[in-house]
Structure 1
Amino acid sequence: MRSAFLSLLPAVLLAGCVAGPDYHMPKDAVAASDAPGRPFVSVQGTAFSAAPLPDEWWQLYNDPRLNELVEQALAANTDLRAADANLRRAAAIARQVEAGRTVSTAVGGGIDLSRPSSTGYSLPGILGYDAGISAGLPLDLSGRIARAIEASRADEDVSRAARDYTRVAVAAAVTRAYAGVCAANFSLATNRRVVALQRSTLEATQRLQRGGRGTVFDVTRAQAAVDRSEALLPAIVAQRQAHLFLIATLLGKVPADYPTDLADCSALPALTSPLPTGDGAALIRRRPDVRAAERQMAADTARVGVAMADLYPQVSIGGSTGIGGPFKSFGSGNSFGFSLGTLLSWSFPNRPVVKARIAAAGAQADADLANFDSTVLGALRETETALNTYAQSRESIAALQKARDSAAGAAGQADELFRFGRSDFLQVLDAERSLADAEVALADARTMMVDDQIDIFLALGGGWQR
């Protein structure tokens, strides 16, 4: 036995180094280069600021009611409750893995009735007992437990990042739904102004027809224009109600309990200062999905060490004590015993199988690096796209505002010419149709601009910090 242990000693000492590679950010990772840290190419003009994104970016709209709704959602949203529970579960698993390096104990005992053959004892036999307690402490010379703890803590960080991403999504969803309610009312007001203008034309046409200067056909065409515009209103009301129902569910309530005071919101949320963006380096540090991808890479790198530890023996120290024997000798010195020593366990693994597991773990770590790079590049692309879309939407609004003003002037001129008999009614309808289209397009563009702002905030990944 002594010679056998000495033959295994080199393997035991070799296992004293923690198995597997130590995790560090790969040098060839996209995030480790200088490129992501540059300013965003789409941040140009007075609409943007290179200032850091505030943690609670929705407060940039300076709307107390919106701030209140976001805070309520962050406290009661069902998706966030699930994410918090998942984080607690990951933390509990990490504690469970960490407990693997502490002392383990076991208590056992029993009573038995036995009659060994050829003993000459009379039936029913001898009543005996045994009771004992044992304790063991793993030495973890191979580093299996250390790497498993490292992996479990990184898994906990992944769950934390997932929870943070849920917070970002909830804050953006509440802000978007709130803006949707206000945008629907804004669109309703715009379309109702168009209807009022067209109805005024209809009434003027009816008066002219009664005075002999118009025809029934003119009145019919004017009425059709009013009917066409009024037909758009119910869909906008339905859209507003859908946003209200969504807000209720985001707050963890049934749809019927939507905040009724929001139904009258008519002013679009507006930024009171240039939109702050920071730079790419801050984006990578802030985005929860980037952090989750990096932590997943760390967890799977540690699992390479867990797989490699199977090549080495497992060593622990422990001892046991107990009493046992026939009840007639209970309490005597012969009934007590104990042991203390080192336990060496080595299953002499099938090395090709273990090496295949190591290779699989290493391949997973390589895949994680590719996924991490993809996540970083995707985050930068999403942000640049959102910033550029917002910049273009601002230019579109400026052009649509000019088109609306020109259409309003043309409609007024056509109406005046018709009243003085210098043009026909078809020109009036065409001019009013152009004005109505310009009004609606401008309102839609202003609504979309708020949506574009929220896309930027969502891409920047803020809103989870506390």
Structure 2
Amino acid sequence: MKRRSLPALCLAGALLAGCAHTIPVEQPVPTMDLPAGWSQAAKPAGQEWPDAQWWQHFGSAELSQLVQDGQASNLELAAALSRVRQAESQARIAGVSLLPSVDLSAGASRDLPLAGHRNANVSSSGVLQVSYEVDFWGKNKAGAAAAEASLRANVYDRQTVALTVTSGIVATYLRVLSLHDRLIVARDNTKNAERVLSLVEAQSSVGAATSVDLARQRSAVASQRAAIPDLLQQQREAQSALAILLGRPPQTFSLPDSGLDTISLPEVTPGMPSELLSRRPDIRRSEAMLAAASANVDAARAALFPSIRLTGSAGTQSSALVSLLNGQNLFANVGASLVAPIFDGGRLRTERDLAIEQKQELVQAYRSTVLSALAEVDTVLGEIKSLDEQRRLKMVEMEQARVAFNLSEIRYKAGAEDLMTVLDTQRSLADVQNELGILKLKRLQATVSLYKALGGGWQAS
């Protein structure tokens, strides 16, 4: 009968472990009153929601290749993947407590004869021991559930990092192209200033322009030329930032010269606010962290109750190696033990209270994450609306500034206008062209921010 006890114990432990390993994948999250729509109305046309390849809607094959390279080589993404793998290992470790443990110990010894003694005694032993903690109160199950939830949180965290990295690559690439355009505008403005300077010098040589006029125009030329080195430095810094996002050394990275005229402006509508709860990985991460905290509370409560452990062993021992498996040398035993906390200075209850408060903290953190997400989308929608209006008005201003500059230059040649008017119109044209370039970049980057705020096309599978 004793020989049958150990296999029965092993089978019972395995069945109990299988039952205990039914870990809930999802935990209920706090309910929140979500708005029915956005305060900034979105355009009805365009995509209903960002897709997983949202950056392709900017119409740049070069950008798509850079994003692909960044997703494969970015160092922050590699670190986030390592954190996911660590969480997977921790989840497996936590799940081990739901299974029986089996240990085998074996040994053999021989007595060496001294002088005058020819007999040598040989002894050997082998013991197989099985133990299993009955998870009656669900402590081990809760610990495994917490580890599983932490794993999900790390997976969502990696998706958040991926979205941030991808958005950073797209926004930085657009900045590089914008600076290329602004350099072209700065060089054109310099040429305009130099052309006017040639005119002033010609008039000064015949006494039609004063030395003050000549000094003013030379100052204007110097001011236009001084803007170019700063733009070049900004372009180098943007390319270096892009190289880092791609996981490349900045010294070996460069982009071909191209401007924002190669980029399309995609339109995207934000859908409903409630969709953010399943479309943003940072919100799903907060949910997973809350689920882990709930499981930790369950584990801390279960630790207040007694723990039951079943043990069993079977083995053999013999003074002669050849008779090790002799039936008379076999033995087996089974047992059960109960350990209950009696006095621990309040440690277990304090740990339970700590787990409860940690859960309450994460409840508020979850709500804060949702509110921040809602505010982020609404803010970007308002920014897009404002930038569209600014660009429309700035285009009108630029056209009028160009007309004013051309007319003032013609009138100056004819002697019907003074140089100060030419300088003013020249400066106004340069300023509005630079501002329009900045607004164009801001509008494109606001679209990137909207894609990011909407979760970038990610959706939990």
Q: What is the TM-score with the length of structure 1 in the denominator?
A: 0.85
Written as runs of structure 1 = structure 2, the 5 A alignment for 1:400-439 is: 400-439=394-433
Q: In the alignment, which residue of structure 1 is the partner of 2:34?
A: 35
- CA 1:22–1:428: 2 relative to 1, 3 Å: closer
Q: In the alignment, which residue of structure 2 is the partner of 1:8?
A: none
State the shift of 1:17 in Å.
11
Contact 1:167 1:464 in 2 (8 A): no
Q: For 1:338, what is the secondary structure of its paired residue? A: strand
Q: For 2:97, what is the secondary structure of its paired residue? A: helix
Written as runs of structure 1 = structure 2, the 5 A alignment for 1:10-159 is: 24-26=27-29, 29=30, 32-36=31-35, 38-45=36-43, 49=46, 51-110=48-107, 129-159=124-154
Gaps of 5+ in 2: 1-18, 112-116
User: Take 1:287 and 1:389, find their aligned partners in 2: how far apart are those partners?
Assistant: 20
Listed one character per residue, the Cα deviations across residues 35-90 of structure 1 (whole Å, up to 9, x for unaligned) are: 24x222213446x6571122221111111111111111111211111111111111
Q: For 1:350, what is the secondary structure of its paired residue? A: coil
Q: In the alignment, which residue of structure 2 is the partner of 1:13?
A: none
User: Take 1:241 and 1:22, find their aligned partners in 2: how far apart are those partners?
Assistant: 48
User: Take 2:136 and 2:332, find their aligned partners in 1: how far apart are those partners?
Assistant: 26
State the shift of 1:129 in Å.
4.8
1:322 aligns with 2:315: yes
Q: In the alignment, which residue of structure 2 is the partner of 1:312?
A: 305
User: Take 2:77 and 2:348, find their aligned partners in 1: how far apart are those partners?
Assistant: 40
Greater shift in the superposed pair: 451-460 or 174-183: 451-460
Match of 2:236 among 241, 247, 259: 241
User: Take 1:375 and 1:457, find their aligned partners in 2: how far apart are those partners?
Assistant: 17
How big is the alpha-carbon RMSD for the aligned residues of Structure 1 and Structure 2?
2.8
State the shift of 1:323 in Å.
2.4
- CA 1:243–1:328: 2 relative to 1, 3 Å: closer
User: Take 1:374 and 1:391, find their aligned partners in 2: how far apart are those partners?
Assistant: 26
State the shift of 1:113 in Å.
9.2
Q: In the alignment, which residue of structure 1 is the partner of 2:277?
A: 284
Contact 2:172 2:242 in 1 (8 A): yes
Listed one character per residue, the Cα deviations across residues 302-350 of structure 1 (whole Å, up to 9, x for unaligned) are: 0111111112222233321122365599646554321124343334453
User: Take 2:404 and 2:321, find their aligned partners in 1: how far apart are those partners?
Assistant: 117
- CA 1:22–1:71: 2 relative to 1, 3 Å: closer
Identity, in percent, stands at: 23
State the shift of 1:237 in Å.
1.2
State the shift of 1:404 in Å.
1.5
Q: For 2:177, what is the secondary structure of its paired residue? A: helix
User: Take 2:375 and 2:273, find their aligned partners in 1: how far apart are those partners?
Assistant: 10
User: Take 2:413 and 2:406, find their aligned partners in 1: how far apart are those partners?
Assistant: 11
Q: For 1:35, what is the secondary structure of its paired residue? A: coil
1:164 aligns with 2:163: no
Q: In the alignment, which residue of structure 1 is the partner of 2:6?
A: none
Contact 1:136 1:319 in 2 (8 A): yes
Match of 1:458 among 435, 445, 452: 452
1:397 aligns with 2:361: no
Written as runs of structure 1 = structure 2, the 5 A alignment for 1:179-198 is: 179-198=174-193
Contact 2:279 2:457 in 1 (8 A): no
Q: In the alignment, which residue of structure 1 is the partner of 2:379?
A: 385
Q: Which one-letter code corresponds to 1:345 in the other structure?
A: V
State the shift of 1:366 in Å.
0.8
User: Take 1:96 and 1:182, find their aligned partners in 2: how far apart are those partners?
Assistant: 49
Listed one character per residue, the Cα deviations across residues 282-319 of structure 1 (whole Å, up to 9, x for unaligned) are: 22211111111111000000011111111222223332
Q: In the alignment, which residue of structure 2 is the partner of 1:300?
A: 293
Written as runs of structure 1 = structure 2, the 5 A alignment for 1:216-231 is: 216-231=211-226
Greater shift in the superposed pair: 83-92 or 249-258: 249-258
Contact 1:111 1:129 in 2 (8 A): yes
Contact 1:55 1:464 in 2 (8 A): yes
User: Take 1:42 and 1:251, find their aligned partners in 2: how far apart are those partners?
Assistant: 35
Q: In the alignment, which residue of structure 2 is the partner of 1:10?
A: none
Contact 1:23 1:301 in 2 (8 A): no
User: Take 1:17 and 1:60, find their aligned partners in 2: how far apart are those partners?
Assistant: 48
- CA 1:51–1:183: 2 relative to 1, 3 Å: same
- CA 1:149–1:245: 2 relative to 1, 3 Å: same
Q: For 1:154, what is the secondary structure of its paired residue? A: helix
User: Take 1:304 and 1:268, find their aligned partners in 2: how far apart are those partners?
Assistant: 57
Q: What is the TM-score with the length of structure 2 in the denominator?
A: 0.86
Gaps of 5+ in 1: 1-15, 115-121
Listed one character per residue, the Cα deviations across residues 157-205 of structure 1 (whole Å, up to 9, x for unaligned) are: 0000110001101110110111011001011111112111111111111
Contact 1:61 1:271 in 2 (8 A): yes
User: Take 1:58 and 1:445, find their aligned partners in 2: how far apart are those partners?
Assistant: 20
